[in-house]
Structure 1
Amino acid sequence: MSRTPLRILFAGTPANAAESLRQVSSALEGHEDTAVLVGVLTREDAPVGRKRVLTPSPVAQTAESLGLPVIKANRLTADVLEQVRSLEADASLVVAYGAMLRRDALGALPLGWYNLHYSLLPDLRGAAPVQWALIREREKTGVTLFRIDEGLDTGPVLGTWETPVGPAESAGELLERLTAEGSALAVRFLLSLSEDRSLADSGEEQDEEPASEYAPKLTAQDGLLDPGTSAAEAFSRARGTTPAPGPWMRLNGEKFKIAKVCGVERGAPSGGGAAVPPGSVTAHERGIAIAFSDGALVVERVQPAGKKEMSAKDWLRGVQAGRGENVRLTS
């Protein structure tokens, strides 16, 4: 006896969710008799760039290219839920949609909503787990697929994938890896769910203890590097905030962006053999070295206020030609 294909609604908004949508769509090709994407839920068009042009989300743009119907909503009101029900989806895969689901929304799909979260739950519940994993110097992380309930990332776990964190990996690079592995994990579960729909009620309950640490949404202030901290702390924060919101310091009171970091040099920073105070900038074979409390952060590329991104070496040469050797960044 043939079974009706599992009908899947994809819910997500940013670029990594768009990549997940592409990967899931590609993986389901040839499985149309088992599972099929029937539509996409994403947030409403938002202003982008200096001119604040109203622009569809990356997920909306990807859905259009795939020929999938799109529902745009920042909140799941009664009218939006009617649109969701009209797609006759059985279940939803959620990847960074950007809104909490209330009880009425959770009951709108017969087999539930499944979230792909970029940490090993219950650790790092919240909006920015990849970034905080790096800032807080986690040695390992991963992805967790769980069924959404009314709590914050608290539902029963259906699957995980674990990985070491690369020693110089940025948040953007780690996010890319986790998206690929997480999408594959989600597809395996959805195909299993299509064969055995009782799996919707399975899963391992999370530890009742609260998460060891939460991962709130980042602000621009989270990218500020304090020269009074250790070089290792600065490196972790720079990696965790690359590419967004971006690491930065101040030069003469103006925001100075650190575009690319490549490592840490241990030991008291020095210039010409003499110790230099935290924040001091000296030349380095790979760019520049910014002094911190116990070493230096090596930087390859920078973006001074009002200028385009450039080689850190070229920037330092230009600055020193105008003002001499003493260049110092502050928090």
Structure 2
Amino acid sequence: MRLVFAGTPAAAVPTLRRLATLHEIVAVVTRPDAPLGRKRVLTPSPVAQAAVELGLPIIRTARLDDAATAEIAALQPDLGVIVAYGGLVREPLLSVPASGWINLHFSLLPAWRGAAPVQRALIAGDRELGASVFQLVAELDAGDVFARRVVAVPDTATAGEALEILAADGADLTADVVAAIADGTAAAAPQTGEPTFAGKLSHGDGLLDWNLPLDAVYARFRGVTPEPGAHTTVGGQSLKVLEAAPAADAEPLAPGQLRGTKSAVLIGTASGPLAVTRVQPAGRAAMNAVDWWRGQRGADDLRAGS
């Protein structure tokens, strides 16, 4: 098939690479280069970088406006495939490809429609993660579903790690759906059940509340890692929590109470301590949490969250 592919982050790259081996990609649509790092260097999106490696034509646009629609329409694609592009596809672009657009979404629809499905699912403590491929319609993530699959993800995986697993599995799922559309055997079914929604996360979503039970604190840590990042305050200073896990067989600590060990810094919650192994203090590089702890003065009086 003649495909137009729209995507931006690293999670979209496995699907692009998979489809490029099977079909003709007439264009790759992605967001414009963005300033990254402390020096704010303009950097192509991961999808743009992959498209360059694959020798595919690229349309860089922040909005799928009339100009982008005309450029895509001139290519006469059979099907559009979108994976986390970062913008809405509306009419008349929805109807440009002969078979419309399909979307790979990293949730078991209708659960977690929206921009941050994996992150929100982990924060909510969901035990099952998965991917769905559906027909794109004007309403947000509401189209009929061609295929969905529960994907095995370790119960210690952060959102970033879970996305890598889901992206690889989702690439195969999407390829299967495209093949079925190509040979005329594809069938989609309406979504059933009450939808939940996954709004984009902000910096504030990464704040850890030590007054909550350990399971809830750890779920939020997993869901906001690596973006927007888990954080707390200690002695009035911001501290990013980069690596952590529930402490095994540790004595209870008061919520926010810190205790250093040989291998971690324990921080108390309402039901048991979290073992923090890597942190990043404000204005400094990431470091071993134990090394950070050794550098604190008056450590016995410090509390996380204050």
TM-score by length of 1: 0.88
**Is 1:50 the equivalent of 2:38?**
yes
**Is 1:10 the equivalent of 2:2?**
no
2:252 aligned partner: 269
1:215 aligned partner: 198
The whole-number CA distance in structure 2 between the counterparts of 1:304 and 1:161 is 39
Residue aligned with 2:295, SS: helix
The whole-number CA distance in structure 2 between the counterparts of 1:324 and 1:63 is 51
TM-fit CA distance, 1:303: 0.6
The whole-number CA distance in structure 2 between the counterparts of 1:216 and 1:266 is 36
Structure 1 residues 217-257: Cα deviation after superposition (integer angstroms, max 9, x where no partner)? 11111010011111111100000111111100012222100
Counterpart pick for 2:268 among 288, 291, 294: 291
Say if 1:282 and 1:22 are closer, same or farther in 2 by CA, change over 3 A.
same
Counterpart pick for 1:236 among 219, 235, 245: 219
Letter in 1 for 2:257: S
Instruction: Verify the 8 A CA contact 2:243 2:277 in the aligned structure 1.
Output: yes
The whole-number CA distance in structure 2 between the counterparts of 1:122 and 1:252 is 43
**Is 1:154 the equivalent of 2:142?**
yes
Instruction: Verify the 8 A CA contact 1:158 1:203 in the aligned structure 2.
Output: yes
1:203 aligned partner: 188
2:290 aligned partner: 313
- After TM superposition, the structure 1 = structure 2 runs for residues 54-133 of structure 1, keeping only pairs within 5 Å, are 54-133=42-121
Instruction: Verify the 8 A CA contact 2:104 2:174 in the aligned structure 1.
Output: yes
Instruction: Verify the 8 A CA contact 2:151 2:169 in the aligned structure 1.
Output: no
The whole-number CA distance in structure 1 between the counterparts of 2:18 and 2:256 is 43
Say if 1:119 and 1:237 are closer, same or farther in 2 by CA, change over 3 A.
same
1:22 aligned partner: 17
Q: Structure 1 unaligned segments of length 5 or more: list them.
A: 1-5, 29-34, 271-276
After superposition, the CA RMSD in angstroms is 1.7
Instruction: Verify the 8 A CA contact 1:140 1:163 in the aligned structure 2.
Output: yes
Residue aligned with 1:134, SS: helix
Moved over 6 A (4+): none
The whole-number CA distance in structure 1 between the counterparts of 2:262 and 2:155 is 20
TM-fit CA distance, 1:267: 7.7
TM-fit CA distance, 1:210: 4.0
Bigger mean CA deviation after superposition, 238-247 or 38-47: 38-47
Letter in 2 for 1:300: T
Counterpart pick for 1:303 among 274, 280, 293: 280
TM-fit CA distance, 1:265: 4.7
The whole-number CA distance in structure 2 between the counterparts of 1:328 and 1:125 is 37
The whole-number CA distance in structure 2 between the counterparts of 1:325 and 1:23 is 54
The whole-number CA distance in structure 1 between the counterparts of 2:88 and 2:249 is 44
Counterpart pick for 1:137 among 112, 125, 133: 125
TM-fit CA distance, 1:103: 1.9
Bigger mean CA deviation after superposition, 296-305 or 46-55: 46-55
The whole-number CA distance in structure 2 between the counterparts of 1:206 and 1:165 is 23
The whole-number CA distance in structure 2 between the counterparts of 1:230 and 1:85 is 53
The whole-number CA distance in structure 2 between the counterparts of 1:188 and 1:324 is 56
The whole-number CA distance in structure 2 between the counterparts of 1:266 and 1:214 is 36
**Is 1:257 the equivalent of 2:245?**
no
In the comparison of the two structures, how many residue pairs are matched?
A: 306
Residue aligned with 2:301, SS: coil
Letter in 1 for 2:277: E
TM-score by length of 2: 0.95
Residue aligned with 1:295, SS: coil
Instruction: Verify the 8 A CA contact 1:139 1:165 in the aligned structure 2.
Output: no
The whole-number CA distance in structure 1 between the counterparts of 2:25 and 2:168 is 18
The whole-number CA distance in structure 2 between the counterparts of 1:254 and 1:264 is 24
The whole-number CA distance in structure 2 between the counterparts of 1:225 and 1:263 is 14
TM-fit CA distance, 1:297: 0.7
The whole-number CA distance in structure 2 between the counterparts of 1:71 and 1:245 is 28
Letter in 2 for 1:183: A
